[in-house]
A and B are shown apart, each in its own frame.
Chain A
Amino acid sequence: MVLELTGAEILVRALKDEGVEYVFGYPGGAVLHIYDALYRQEDVKHILVRHEQGATHAADGYARSTGRPGVVLVTSGPGATNAVTGIATAYMDSIPLVIITGQVHTWAIGSDAFQEVDAVGITRPCVKHNFLVKDVKDLATTIKKAFYIATTGRPGPVVVDVPKDVTAQVTEYAYPKKVTLRSYKPVVEGHPGQIKKAVELILSAKRPMIYSGGGVILGEASRTLTEFTRLLGCPITNTLMGLGSYPATDKQFVGMLGMHGTYEANMAMHECDVLLAIGARFDDRVVGKVELFSPGSKKIHIDIDPSSISKSVRVDVPIVGSVGNVLEEMIKLIKAAKKQPDKAALAAWWKQINQWRAKDCLRYDHKSKLIKPQAVLEKLYQLTKGDAFVTSDVGQHQMWAAQFYKFDKPRRWINSGGLGTMGFGLPAAMGVQLAHPKATVACVTGEASIMMCIQELSTCKQYGLPLKIINLNNRYMGMVRQWQEFFYKGRYSHSYMDALPDFVQLAESFGHVGMKIEKPGDVEPALKEALKLKDRLVFMDFITDQTENVYPMIEAGKGHHEMHLSPERELA
């Protein structure tokens, strides 16, 4: 039987056939037909956010925590432009999203119609691909293509712009099982010759080092990476995006690297003789000054995106392919090889690394009369047994969370690494909580970041999302203040947060539980109490030490061996 549906019905039906559980969105004129179609079915659940930025971040959090694509539905014009920050955030971190934007009628496009914006043009630089659907007959196939492109190869957001009249037109519905595009064929298998070369290089290393990133998580290769690393017995560091891809409590893990990475991770990067980069992209916050980066090492790079290879740092053995496949091949070759890792050299390498470790670079003042932000995160880690989903906003609190919450599993650490989007944490946590209703979801934030998407507390109330918000309130944009202290002689230009709301009352006015914690001794009881309130959102306002800085720190443009340690550490 031929099924005739309107464009709006086709869209919703296609989402259902794609297996979409949640759509995060906000209605408006251009998408009213679609909202009507949503109303007349029950398979696809819609989550009404309070601002379109929240919709994209929530879908993003959903995607990061599940591995499934996040879906967003917004109206034309301001609906689309409000979504752009979230789209760019997902793009920078290679997160699969499908964003459906309403558009004015096809006959009105280009006429400066009410709520018209060139959504395809505006989003082009921050999407993997985008489409404008001009004919209802193309709609189902375009949705299929959008999901296919978003989720394969190096994932990313895909925008589908749908004019209002297209959603009213009627046509036959058949959802394609598969699409192929002659212009889009991501490479999956690595080149056998290159893999062999890489294995030979690793097995000949005296001081091997693994540096792995978000690509391992996106490629579902954490187990393979763990097996591979243990087989080699060498140190491993993770990027900010890669945390959780290798168990942080494992003895081979030397912590995060980069601008606020550990002393041992950065020194090992600097001193290694063979560096294996896996699903990481040599970001400037990781590399520092290119000329000083890991100067004595031969470099191997595995990445699914050829354009990530040799973009900023030249590598000796590039391997294009999916991280999991390539690592599996490498494991086979290592197991079959006559030559095995040089045990004596490795022992000497570990001795050196343990000396760096002994610096205890993350230590902070435990006797302070003020709440140290690090202490809050250490307690959170202990009380949740390292098993919570943790989202963060951007700034000092983000770095402390990355340093002090030890992630043993992938997809637990949800943050905006590439774009560095303040306002990400709360809406992202909503997406995570919807995907994992029983899990503890903590949003680590600061009083500046949280204000950027605070409106979503209302969404949390509507859908009963029991988030635990850890607000590390130092009355400053902490990271901005830190840079101003270091590089602008303490001229704190507009980095203070004046006229802050009373967060306890604010949370309560949204129907949640609010707590204010001002003494170090109250941190643990407050966290315990909050975690006990399983079905309530708890907003914990921790009044922390204003002067605390994130250490270690590599200044922009310096090398890994030029780290600043905290003043106490440097004296020690």
Chain B
Amino acid sequence: MRHIISILMENESGALSRVAGLFSARGYNIESLTVAPTDDPSLSRMTLVTSGTDNIIEQITKQLNKLVDVVKLLDLTEGPHIEREMMLIKVKATGVAREEIKRLADIFRGHIIDVTDSSYVIELTGTGEKLDGFIQALDGKAILEVVRSGVSGIARGAKSLKV
């Protein structure tokens, strides 16, 4: 099953490589991983999407907790949560397609953030499925470049993952 694990860790050089190294050394799967400092600059927040049996997920959380740099972690998929991913997509926009792509971006609540006489860059935020859906709705030949941020997640409600 797919799990989203949120990790608060010391914002030290090498912290990211400890997590990445753990996953490769123990043969765990990483679907996506995003990391950036939090409001407290001494802490980084990482969102890691992985999949595996219950036993494997249990080991993953235990092994992550064992890393000296990891302060706290939470498996978001254990409760109600929100996940979002951001995508920047560069598409060919010429002739009649230009108007069509604009309309499609509006339907998906995307923003066109760069325009040339032959291209758009569209910014789109949502769940992974929504981004996949947008890509599928576009004419494949029109897509010039796709950049996705990987999933960021947060639990619903007042409870928070904080030190």
Interface residues of A (CB under 8 A from B): 120-121, 124-125, 128-129, 132, 149, 181-184, 305-307, 309-311, 314
Contacts and interface: CB of A to CB of B under 8 A. Distances in A.
Contacts of A183: 9-10, 68-71
B65 interface: yes
Interface string B1-36: 000000001100110011001000100000000000
Given A306-B62, A307-B63, A310-B55, 14 more contacts: A120-B14, A121-B17, A124-B17, A124-B18, A132-B14, A181-B68, A182-B163, A183-B10, A183-B68, A183-B71, A306-B66, A307-B62, A307-B65, A311-B59
16 contacts: A124-B21, A125-B21, A132-B14, A181-B68, A182-B163, A183-B9, A183-B70, A305-B66, A306-B62, A306-B66, A307-B62, A307-B63, A309-B62, A310-B55, A310-B58, A314-B55
Contacts, number: 37
B65 A306 contact: yes
Nearest to B9: A183
Q: Sorted from nearest, which 3 A-B pairs have the closest CB atoms?
A: A307-B62, A129-B68, A183-B71
B29 to A, nearest CB: 18
Contacts of A307: 59, 62-63, 65-66
Contacts of A182: 71, 163
Contacts of B13: 132
A310 B60 CA distance: 12
Considering residues A128, A307, A309, which has the most beta carbons from chain B within 10 angstroms of its beta carbon? A307
Contacts of A305: 66
B129 to A, nearest CB: 33
Nearest to A184: B68
Contacts of B58: 310
Contacts of A309: 62
Nearest to A185: B71
Nearest to A134: B13
Interface in B45-85: 55, 58-59, 62-63, 65-66, 68-71
A121 B17 CA distance: 8
Given A307-B59, A307-B63, A311-B59, A149 B68 contact: yes
Contacts of A149: 68
Nearest to B60: A307
Nearest to B8: A183
Contacts of B71: 182-183
Nearest to A145: B68
Contacts of A314: 55
Nearest to B69: A183
B25 A125 contact: yes
A552 to B, nearest CB: 31
A184 B67 CA distance: 8
A307 B55 CA distance: 11
B52 to A, nearest CB: 14
A311 B68 CA distance: 20
Q: Which of B17, B63, B66, B69 has the most CB of A within 10 A?
A: B66
A273 B100 CA distance: 71
A314 B55 CA distance: 9
A124 to B, nearest CB: 6
Contacts of B69: 183
Nearest to B55: A310
Contacts of B10: 183
A128 B59 contact: no
A391 B151 CA distance: 51
Contacts of A311: 59
Nearest to A125: B25
Of B18, B68, B69, B71, chain A has the most CB atoms within 10 Å of the CB of B68
A307 B68 CA distance: 14
B28 to A, nearest CB: 13
A243 to B, nearest CB: 26
A481 B11 CA distance: 51
Most buried by A among B14, B65, B163: B14
A71 B49 CA distance: 39
Contacts of A120: 14
A120 B65 CA distance: 20
B68 A128 contact: yes
A184 B71 CA distance: 7
A128 B10 CA distance: 16
Contacts of A306: 62, 65-66
Nearest to A320: B62
A98 to B, nearest CB: 14
Contacts of A129: 68
B149 to A, nearest CB: 26
A160 to B, nearest CB: 13
A543 B59 CA distance: 47
Contacts of A181: 68
Contacts of A125: 21, 25
A121 B16 CA distance: 12
A258 B55 CA distance: 24
A182 B40 CA distance: 14
Nearest to B24: A125
Nearest to B14: A120
Nearest to A120: B14
Q: Name, among A128, A132, A183, the residue most crowded by chain B CB atoms within 10 Å (CB to CB).
A: A183
B68 to A, nearest CB: 4
A180 to B, nearest CB: 13
A311 B18 CA distance: 20
B81 to A, nearest CB: 23
A124 B55 CA distance: 25
B9 to A, nearest CB: 7
Nearest to A154: B66
A442 B18 CA distance: 39
A220 B13 CA distance: 35
Contacts of B18: 124
Contacts of B70: 183
A187 to B, nearest CB: 11
A149 B62 CA distance: 18
A146 to B, nearest CB: 11
A202 B91 CA distance: 68
A139 to B, nearest CB: 16
Nearest to B25: A125
Nearest to A124: B21
A184 B70 CA distance: 8
Nearest to A305: B66
A184 B30 CA distance: 24
A24 to B, nearest CB: 24
